Structure 1
Amino acid sequence: MDNVKRLSVLALSIAAALPAVANADVLISEYVEGSAFSCVGETITPIYKVQGAGDSSPLVPTGEFVSAETVTIKGIVTARGDSLQKGFYLQEAQGDGSPYTSDGVFVYLGEKAAEGIQAGVAVCVKGLVQERYNQTQIAGDAANIEIGEQGEKLAATPFYVADGENLAQALERYEGMHIVLDAGSDMRITRNFSFDYSSYRNNMVLSHIAPLMKPTQVYAPLSDEAVAQQKANRSNELYIESDYKANNGEVPYFPDFNAETGYMRVGDQLTNIAGVVGYSYSNYRLVVTNEITAGDLIRENDRTAVPAIATQGDIRVASFNVLNFFNDMVGGDDTPNGNRGASTEAEMLLQRAKLVSAITAMNADIVGLMEIANNGFGEMSAIQNLLDAINAELSAEEAYSFIEISDEDKYQGKFIGSDAITVGILYRAATVAPDSSAFVIKTPEQHAEEGVATRGEDEASPEYNKYQRHSLGQTFSIHDDKLTIVVSHLKSKGSECLEDWIEFAEDEDPADLQGHCNEFRVSAAKVIGEAISDIEGDLLVIGDMNAYGMEDPIAVLTDYDASTANREIVTASWTTLDGVIYEREGSKIDKGYGLINLNTQAHGPATFGYSYSGELGNLDHALGNASVAKRMVAIEDWHINAVESNLFEYGSKYTGDLEKSENVFSSSDHDPVIIALEYPAPVTPEPAPKDDGGSLGYLGLAMLSLLGLRRRTR
């Protein structure tokens, strides 16, 4: 008998000696290809024994990361891992039937598996059990793997979250298994397909039952409720992955992804998507094994082409962050600090078309703008460019004008402050009229020289020079009433201020979850509050405050009261105002300035118009005084941006050949806020009947005569 025949007989005898494995009645040993490993004589450890019922394998000693002894497991391959994690997923066909233990596990190789290891193939592998970055794995290598024949693929197991457990606990029960999300799984998109900095690739995040809310949108910072919400959010995230990085502009498991019909929105329920449950970069990840269509998305809050309140009230006021609208690419005037917007003419024209579609659909009489290029008010300014494009779509009666500040308020005779972007106001002259001149509220700057503060063991602070945009105010006449609009855009949460450095939070989100430069935004809120305190008539402060609904800057402008609050609110130190020292040390806020958060009043705190890192909340606000609050008919966050994919925005750098649309969706990254107000026209009295001196007239007298009645005369 030659060697080949001997090996074939040996392979068949090995297969006969092994317990039956579904989809692989004959397990052909790698001896056929020269491997020295065989499962013959090995003690098979069930995968569910490897996984156990806890967060880590019971075979890995407490405090260790690797088991003391090797184990031999066998099962059916459900997926390969060739990029995100290199190895393959192995699952038992039957398992133990217990919902508390997983029947699957990832076999980590650190390199691509042999070509014979494909979904549906029976495999036996020997290796140590390891907890690698909190994922239970088998540390395998090619010398200890036996590959069987191709059989039928295992059906994916429907996933569910049991009563009394959170999503993370449920996913741990399925770790390493091939699952499918069906309608009963109730998994919703909480972060749309976009860039994930932890894994440095595009992916999507799902949550159970509902999208995640930013804790400080609904609860006071550092409150027990906010802390609990933060913990709950981190336990309610499932990252949806592809094994290989997606190409620019593509969702690898959704080939029909497009701007008009193949879109995905935050809040959509995702069904019929299958994958293997892994864990990496500190998160549970579903590595998708199939493709979905638009029909697999259950939409409870679908797109609307116009706001629900577009025709409500007598007038409407809107607040809209226009995502760095610059007109440099068509010869626009220069800004103080360069272009932050479109990098090509095609991008700029697409951005403008989308903004025009959105603004005209709002049908607002006053529109506050944020993030428009700060290049003045001339013919080549960004605000004039946008205005011309809007008015080209409207009748003369519907047309807008913009507010220009006086020359003495202009920085260097041209700008509103020194930032590259600014705020602006559009208005319809047919319905509202500017009353007196516009005004600018200058906001504080932080200038802290190196070494003004220390931390730890006398570590000296670096130099800080921080700025924020000025606010723009304008009073309008509406019939016989006055409405003052103040448009604001406070400092972003991105780069840190001195107070963050002092708290060792310059490179991470501060513990209170309010982002960087919170005290600096409080300083701006204090200045704005003082500036508006003497305004008479109706008042609306609108704009991108870069602060969620329950955060300090909003509390300062609304109902904060230090005597009853559970936390202290302070301003930033080392601030100046209009070139003069404002506060060397941060000061405590005693009481807020009494405005009303109109969104909260109408809908409660769980409103949103912005999405960041998978959490929803409101950065854009409408704060009104008591008199304007009485006039409010309705308020709406028009969800055309926050819940949409940013791949549909005007920028083309990371979107490849993805076709864009001029529709309103993804016209910015912030939803517009629209407020409908009652300003009824004065009632003109009807003319009184013509009086001829009190006489009934000839006909009237005749009638009285016929009735036997005569007017008494003197």
Structure 2
Amino acid sequence: MNKQLFTLLPVLFFSGAAVADICDNENEVTPIAQIQGENEQSSLIDQQVTVRGIVTASWQTDEQLSGFFIHSFAQDMDDNPATSEGLFAVTEKHHSSVDIGEQVKLTGKVTERSQLTSLVDISSITTCGDAESLPDITDLKLPVQSLAELEALEGMPIKLSASSANELTISGHYNYPRHGYFDVSSGRLWTPTQIVMPGQDAKRQAEENQLNRLQVDDNSNVVEPSPLPFSNLWHGKQNSLRSGATIANFSGIISQFNNAYRVQPTEDLTLESSSKQPQLPEKANDSVRIASFNVLNFFNGNGSGQGFPTPRGADNTEQMKRQLQKIVAALTALDADIVGLMELENDGFGERSAIFQLVEALEKASGKEYEVAEPRAEKIGTDQITVGIIYQPKRVKPSSHALFTRQGPFSWGSRPPLAQRFIDRNTDSEFSVVVNHFKSKGSCPEDSDSPNSNKNDGQACWNELRLKSSQQLLAWISEESLANPVLLGDFNAYYHEDPIRYFSENNFYNPSNATDYSYVYDSQAGSLDHIFVANSLESKVKGVYHLPFNADEPWVYDYRDETYFSDGPFRSSDHDPLVLDLRFSGSGM
């Protein structure tokens, strides 16, 4: 028969007591364990087989998974723990349905469907009544010992839990708005070089992370689901699915999709504890509050507000207004005396520039006066984005014009750092703030022999350039005799990486801990944003605060989609702001 014509025919469906014996007949039945085998891929790909089993989960509509899962009859199971007893049957445009607990016999072709061993092109389905009991549920605890443990459970029902020392934690949700799934782990996942040293330690940590993560799917093939799924897990001031929250143990089916293992839940998920949203302490009158904030490409128009589209940021005026509203809400909540900003449109310091429009909106919202630290230049460097410093003149005063350098790695790659000398009006103490934005980890050099290529030590590409940026930065600070410098910004390097350790090894104090974070990438938390103070200021540090406004929030809640937009500081950027409080006692230093 013509194959194309055959696929258009309806599935032959048999049911009732008259055909019950069909399921009991072992003739021509291929055991599911034989189809699955011990390897990632079935050895029977493209072969037509007849199988039988008990339906353990069914999501057959086009809006769901277009199929159902079955588990082997007890008499068909083997004694090999490395072979799965579960299988997915793809029914697609079926003319019937099956229910959980039914015994079925079906014929189709074996395939690896996005790495999930499945039966497709099903020509017949026979139901033979309900099973006396459902298959046993396997307890599965994260982390697993090896991915083979998950492969051996593919298509089978499980009860998921975390190790005794942790709880099931939402670790990331990058694909949640588009494909409806998020990642779960035993405790929060950390970027390896955030918590261990680059090299072998980072490689081992990366391997451990791979064994400690599963996708939790919404049992749907719908792209950009609306409304978003898993509303039972929404929480926080923006009522969203935030990473860092913990959930109760739950049952589901292990499946696989595009080189990742996942769970298809068979029960509603329950929130156990919310993602932490600590409050910033009230600013003390005797302290100077300094903040660092990457504003994620704030462009107010293509060159001093001249319209859209722009190279980065908002696509139109309406999006830009929403973006500005969120950034201003975040800055108002920080109420910092000095703010170092990253990813501003590099369009100078005129009245229509991005930084001045931001300050104007901030003054209106906060009722407080802010000024811009301006260098003696039309703009800072030649990149599309730049750094900036704004401050409250009633609290601090500049003792000179702002400075920047384009020496060494700051001529290309890392953005020129901007420095401003300040005097604390309460104590006349002098200090300097230097805002930075080092080269990112992406767009690797084409030459694999380049010193900036990925050395597979956990630090990704351009680590050499970022390290040279740290070295050049301290040399420039020394040349300019910047008193009591405070370094802040997006250094695009994690806590234990070379560029960050260089500061700690050269007379700068890092008041943060390895378990502080400002960014979540690939479901792993870490801090690309840092604040350092010269050792001379270490005793003046009253506190440092990492505020989870953004990194734990799904990206869809930012300014781009009006459907999900809400007022307030949450998801005002993709990086969290950092805040440092310095207390100068007495007059002078």
Is TM-score (shorter-chain normalized) higher than 0.5? Answer: yes
Query: Which deviations, in whole Å up to 9, do the C-alpha atoms of 1:236-268 show, x marking residues without a partner?
Result: 121122331332664234389698553111111
Equivalence map 1:309-328=2 (5 Å):
310-311=283-284, 314-328=287-301
SS in 2 for 1:475: strand
Q: Mark the CA change 1:682 to 1:287 in structure 2 (over 3 Å): closer, same or farther.
A: same
Task: Specify whether residues 477 and 10 from structure 1 end up closer, same or farther in structure 2 by C-alpha distance, changes over 3 A only.
Answer: closer
Look up the match of 1:30: none
Match for 2:273: what amino acid? R
Paired residue type of 2:478: S
- Per the alignment, do residues 258 and 443 of structure 1 end up closer, same or farther by CA in structure 2, a change over 3 Å counting? farther
* TM-score relative to the length of structure 1: 0.70
2:519/2:527 contact within 8 Å kept: yes
Q: Distance in 2 between matches of 1:50 and 1:523?
A: 55
Matched-pair identity in %: 27
| Structure 1 position 300, deviation (Å) | 4.6
Question: What's the CA shift for 1:636?
Answer: 1.2
**In structure 2, what residue type is equivalent to 1:239?**
Q
- What is aligned with 2:8? none
Give, in angstroms, the shift of residue 446 of structure 1: 9.6
| Match among 370, 373, 395 for residue 403 of structure 1 | 373
Q: CA deviation at 1:194?
A: 3.0
Is the contact between residue 445 and residue 467 of structure 1 (CA under 8 Å) also seen in structure 2?
A: yes
In the alignment, is residue 226 of structure 1 matched against residue 202 of structure 2?
Answer: yes
Equivalent position of 1:143 in the other structure: 123
**C-alpha distance in structure 2 between counterparts of 1:9 and 1:661, whole Å:** 52
Instruction: Return the alpha-carbon distance in structure 1 between the equivalents of residues 66 and 449 of structure 2.
Output: 39
Which position in structure 2 is the counterpart of 1:278? Answer: 255
CA distance in 2, matches of 1:340, 1:680: 44
Pair 1:72 & 2:51 matched: yes
Give 1:364's aligned amino acid: A
**Alignment partner of 2:154: what SS?**
coil
Q: What are the equivalent positions in structure 2 for 1:148-163 lying under 5 Å apart?
A: 148=128, 157=137, 159-161=139-141
Deviations 1:682-701 (A, max 9, x none): 49xxxxxxxxxxxxxxxxxx
Alignment of 1:419 with 2:383, yes or no, is yes
* Larger gyration radius, structure 1 or structure 2: 1
Tell me by how many angstroms 1:617 deviates.
0.7
Q: Distance in 2 between matches of 1:308 and 1:154?
A: 54
Q: How many residues align?
A: 568
Alignment of 1:382-531 (within 5 A): 382-395=354-367, 398-406=368-376, 410=377, 414-444=378-408, 467-478=413-424, 479-497=427-445, 500=448, 502=450, 510-531=455-476
Aligned-pair CA distance for 1:346: 2.0
Structure 1 residue 89, shift from structure 2 partner: 1.2
Among candidates 83, 96, 118, match of residue 98 of structure 2: 118
Change (3 A) 1:146 1:353: same
- Confirm or deny that 1:240 pairs with 2:216: yes
Aligned to 1:675: 580
Q: Identify the range of structure 1 (434-443 vs 608-617) with the bigger mean alpha-carbon deviation.
A: 434-443
SS at match of 1:543: strand
Say whether the 8 Å CA contact 1:356–1:390 is kept in structure 2: yes
Q: 2:316 maps to what in 1?
A: 344
2:452 and 2:465 in contact (8 A); partners too: no
Instruction: Tell me which residue corresponds to 1:194.
Output: 175
User: How far does the alpha carbon of each residue in 1:666-709 deviate from its partner, in whole angstroms, 9 at most, with x for none?
Assistant: 011000111111113449xxxxxxxxxxxxxxxxxxxxxxxxxx
Q: Does 1:595 align with 2:504?
A: no
Gapped runs of 5+ residues in structure 2? 1-11
Gaps in structure 1 of 5+ consecutive residues: 1-6, 20-39, 448-465, 560-592, 684-714
| Equivalent position of 1:461 in the other structure | none
- 1:232 deviates by 0.6
Equivalence for 2:9: none
The answer to whether residue 520 in structure 2 is matched with residue 611 in structure 1 is yes
Aligned residue identity for 2:550:
N
Indicate the SS of the match to 1:360: helix
User: Per-residue displacement from partner, 1:531-577 (whole Å, max 9, x unpaired)?
Assistant: 01353531111000111111122233332xxxxxxxxxxxxxxxxxx
From 274, 280, 302, the equivalent of 1:307 is: 280
Report the TM-score, using the length of structure 2 for normalisation.
0.83
- Superposition deviation, residue 361 in structure 1: 1.1
Q: 1:538 aligns with which of 461, 469, 484?
A: 484
Task: Provide the rounded CA distance (Å) in 1 between the counterparts of 2:167 and 2:463.
Answer: 36
Question: Residue 166 and residue 639 in structure 1: after superposition, are their counterparts in 2 closer, same or farther (change >3 A)?
Answer: farther
Question: What is the CA–CA distance in structure 1 between the aligned matches of 2:533 and 2:410, rounded to whole Å?
Answer: 28
Alignment correspondent of 2:499: 553
Query: Are the equivalent residues in 1 in contact too, given 2:301–2:310 (CA < 8 A)?
Result: no
Q: Distance in 1 between matches of 2:400 and 2:451?
A: 45
Residue 178 of structure 1: CA displacement? 3.6
Cα 1:250–1:436 change in 2 (3 A) is same
Q: CA deviation at 1:273?
A: 5.8
The CA deviation at 1:477 is 0.9
Deviations 1:435-455 (A, max 9, x none): 1221102253599xxxxxxxx
Question: SS of 2:324's equivalent?
Answer: helix
RMSD: 4.0
Residues 128 and 8 of structure 1, relative CA distance in 2, 3 Å threshold: closer
Q: 1:259 to 1:97 in 2, by over 3 A?
A: farther
Q: CA deviation at 1:525?
A: 1.9
